[in-house]
A and B are shown apart, each in its own frame.
Chain A
Amino acid sequence: MKKISGTAATRSVVGGLGMLAGLACAGSIDGAGSGPGPGSPGGDGTTAGEPRSGSPAAPATGKGGASGGGGGAALAVGPMPPRVLRHLTRAEYNNSVRDLLGVAVLPENRNLAAEMEIFTTAITGFPYPRGVDAVSKGDYKNLRGAAEELARKAVANLSSLLACDPAAMGEPACARSFVESFGPRAYRRPLVADEITALMGLYDKGRGTLKLGFADTIGLLIEGILQSANFLYLREFGPSADPYEVASGLSYFLWSSAPDAELLKAAQTAQLTTLAGVEQQARRLLANTKKANDTLRVFSDGWMELDRLPEATKNAKLYPTFSVALAQAMANETRGFISDVLTGGDRTLKTLLTSSTSPINTGLAALYGYPVAGLAKDQFQKVTLDPKQRAGLLTQAAFLTRTGDPDGSLPPRRGKVIYENVLCRLAPPVPDGVPDVQPPSPKLTTRQRFAEHLKAECASCHKVFDPLGFAFEHYDGIGAYRATEAGQAIDATGTVTLDGQEHAFKNAVELMALFSQSPEVARCFATQWAWFAMQRKDTPADKPTLDAVADAFLKKGYDVRELLVAIALNTFPSGRK
């Protein structure tokens, strides 16, 4: 289903019922600006099946320009494409209130905003653009409910929120001091006089008309602040590229949370108006691996659809060991793997695509055929799996289960996800009247059954992505390794065109080795991160940015930390002319 564009989506509501005689539809709302929805990739005009911008087929043109700070990352030139107003995503909301009110307010595992549909993430690939839907009545009610609950919990430990003693200082003065210290952290910039007046007006109402106690009135202020547009919306990079907007942009990109005091200070002291300053802060944020992991998790969950994994439905007759707990373990393995490589390992895309070492528990050990004996129960332990069977995150159970079928491996889906999310190529739309695949037969392998797809009208799409999926035929619907199917040896061979050259592979492990050395795959990975940073997919105007970012990534040996720094330097206003 096509979503209505952000602009059109917020056109005025049709007025009263006086005009009912002409209950019409919304007129012609074109899809421009809507961004490609999940399942309908593209939107940049690229022809289906052709590589996106940023691939070798579309050579970079925008490199050069101003030289970077210490890192010397290539910088794009040309005006920054404008960013739109967006609200915090679910993870950003959760992390922000945690950092603002203290971890003690919410239990670690309580995902308050998970209940809020406004923050719901999507099921297929990257849910971009994000945070641009209008706040509906139900959303608003949920935001209010969350604010009320958080405020009540926060004021239960009032002294941790207040730097003053209301008895000594006087209640109104202490409340003002709270507004002046808490407000800038929540709004991520200093408050203007009007805003302080408005909050003190709410304070007066609480103590006056509502006859609330002092602590309860501080809670009322928190309720108001957490529902304030200044907290809920990110106004990134208005015309003036305010340094505080850059601070928020950096921190929501690299931490998925609000800026800390030091970053706000950097905004105040104009450090963020220089490239070197932005680079220094980006590197400082990335060095805080605990907080950087919040962003890695959001990225991993979106890219690999890990947060939706527990919803996977599998045929219990075929996969009796599959359970929600096992699905969660799979997601945690891939999250832990990505985090290990990017914060503790060599940080390269190559390792992400080829390493056989990942954290598993006993449930996963059983699935992978790894000796359970040495493993502590219910704990994740880093082990090295058989490198002939496992190479990187696309051969881990999470990806294979998510893209597998309830009854089997489903090569087209695996191929399509890789085609779109790993190679950044555009799949053609699904034609009408897709014939049913032959039901599982004891005599046929999955690959033989899907041969139907390579005939007639299906072939246009399936000859494109089925071969990529067949590479994973050694893995069943939940990612267990198999040497045979239906009494026949698995055929996982195929060819793939990367960087304009055709390569043959015997299986997924070989395919991953090819991917890990391909500039095209690296450019796609860079694009995925750029989308993440921009919270939207690219437009033609972004081409110089994507090219500069990808060039930097390639030049730095596919080091993902350097990629993120390059994105920070290229997608934030400082330095761009």
Chain B
Amino acid sequence: MNVIGLSKERFSRRALLKRLGVGAAVLPLLNANQASAAGPRKRFMSYTWNNGLNLKDFHPSGDMIEPKALLKPFVDANLMSKLLMPIGLNYTHWIDHGESSKGHDTFPGLLTGCWRGTPNVSLDYVIAEQIAKEVQLPRKLLTLGVRPYGSDPARTSWSGPGRENKAELDPYKIYDELFAGASLPPVEIENIRARRQSVIDFVRADLTRFGSRLGVDDRLKIDAHLSSIRELEADLAPPSAQSGSCQVPTLGTKIDLSDRATTPAHTKMMLDLIVMAFKCDISRVATFDPVDGQMNSPVPWLGISDLHHKVAHAQNGGKYAEKLKIDGWYFSQVAYVAKQLDQIVEGDKTLLDNTVILSANAMEDGTSHYVGNIPFLLLGSCGGYFRTGGRAVRYARLPHNLMLAALAQAFGINVTSFGDKYPGVLTGLT
């Protein structure tokens, strides 16, 4: 059962307005069920975590994915035929920088194809921008997480050099932004929008005046602030094409997000929000990074008191079962979101079929932290673009940049390279 269930229940206007008052971007109309003339409505999602996997419980020996221990959730969800596993890709930037065992530092490169010192636009951002050229959605890109774990969160999502797309962590806030507006009369939505627009106009003029008095370096900071406002302003505007409607989901019993024991419920809410956002066409791109790029994520709900990193280092020294349990849990969440998407019918396909989910890890395995054979997994065929079928495709130590380029091409983006230094597009996936 979803934490967020579908319901036609209408909220009291008062309650909705109250919620909308708190930082809510307004969603005037939902354009679900909107027929698309241009082929399948493709979605992209990434799911990333850290500390590597036990590859022997993941990679098959032949050309077909096998029901290894870590893939059990996909067997249980009957999703094995919708998987595609590229084997033999690595984070070449790190190897070439002499950092082949610096697996913790790869997060800025996972989706950018850049070394950690020079991250630029990430795949999710690029896909979101491409889709935005075709259709104006309430949210171009959802970057979601569960909680910040450390001092130096490493993001997967980047909208440019130095511009991290920080993950949103509060499902209640996101819910309000995405769904609460749906039940409001258009005139009230317009009032909120107009009020915010007035404040934004003031703030923008104020920032511009402020920036003009600064030196070059400081002004760049203000320019970034102004860009952020511009991006938010675009989200405020109503979708260009409005038709159809979407059932408004309801949130379940409120949980205490600060309690680590609620992480499973929290994670589920975030994944349900992604499913609803995809279903209702509020967004077509979602980045989910439950660990905020951190290695030291605690996992107390699995009955494990050590932090994930410590377990990972000891995966061959007495902590094998615990490591398997942790990664199995993450994969069970990937399988959960995939299953939810697979249960939503879109024409002669399912939503999962129109999606490609990239499941990625920061490193190969937890003992060595080596970045040589990254356990990637693709789910969903992206509208028939990828030839899934439970295939494992082997490569001879290729940069993962090539896979990013192939994923970009799946969304009609005409690239021949992704990131820098390692041009090319991965073949064998389509």
Contact = CB atoms under 8 A, between A and B. Distances in A.
A12 B260 CA distance: 38
Interface stretch (B222-230, B267-275, B282-290): B222-230
B166 A229 contact: no
Interface stretch (B39-47, B149-157, B372-380): B149-157
B23 A25 contact: no
Q: How large is the interface on A (under 10, 10 to 19, 20 to 34, 35 or more residues)?
A: 35 or more
B223 A407 contact: no
B199 A135 contact: no
Nearest to A433: B101
Interface string B177-204: 0000000000000010011101100110
22 contacts: A7-B220, A13-B227, A14-B120, A14-B160, A21-B414, A21-B417, A23-B415, A24-B420, A29-B117, A136-B228, A140-B229, A140-B232, A148-B23, A220-B198, A235-B218, A313-B300, A316-B305, A317-B305, A406-B306, A433-B368, A434-B313, A436-B314
A136 B166 contact: yes
B348 interface: no
B249 interface: no
Contact of A38 (B151, B191, B214, B415): B151
A2 to B, nearest CB: 6
Interface stretch (B65-73, B104-112, B320-328): B104-112
A316 B261 CA distance: 14
A13 B166 contact: no
B23 A141 contact: yes
A209 interface: yes
Interface string B297-313: 01010000111001001
Given A14-B160, A26-B120, A134-B225, 18 more contacts: A1-B105, A1-B107, A11-B161, A14-B120, A21-B416, A23-B418, A24-B420, A134-B163, A138-B165, A145-B22, A145-B173, A202-B198, A210-B194, A227-B199, A227-B203, A314-B305, A315-B305, A407-B306
A12 B163 CA distance: 9
B210 A233 contact: yes
Nearest to B191: A210
Interface of A: 1-4, 6-14, 16-17, 20-29, 31, 37-39, 84-85, 115, 117, 120, 122-124, 127, 132, 134-142, 144-149, 152, 194-195, 198-199, 201-202, 205-206, 209-210, 212, 220, 223-224, 227-230, 233, 235, 311, 313-317, 406-407, 432-434, 436, 439
Q: How large is the interface on B (under 10, 10 to 19, 20 to 34, 35 or more residues)?
A: 35 or more
Contact of B207 (A14, A117, A229): A229
A235 B420 CA distance: 37
A199 B202 CA distance: 8
Contacts of A206: 198
B96 interface: no
A212 B203 CA distance: 19
Interface in B195-247: 195-196, 198-199, 202-203, 205-207, 209-211, 214, 217-218, 220-225, 227-229, 231-232
A117 B148 contact: yes
Interface stretch (B5-13, B82-90, B126-134, B337-345): B126-134
Contacts of A2: 105, 116-117
A240 B278 CA distance: 54
Contacts of A120: 148
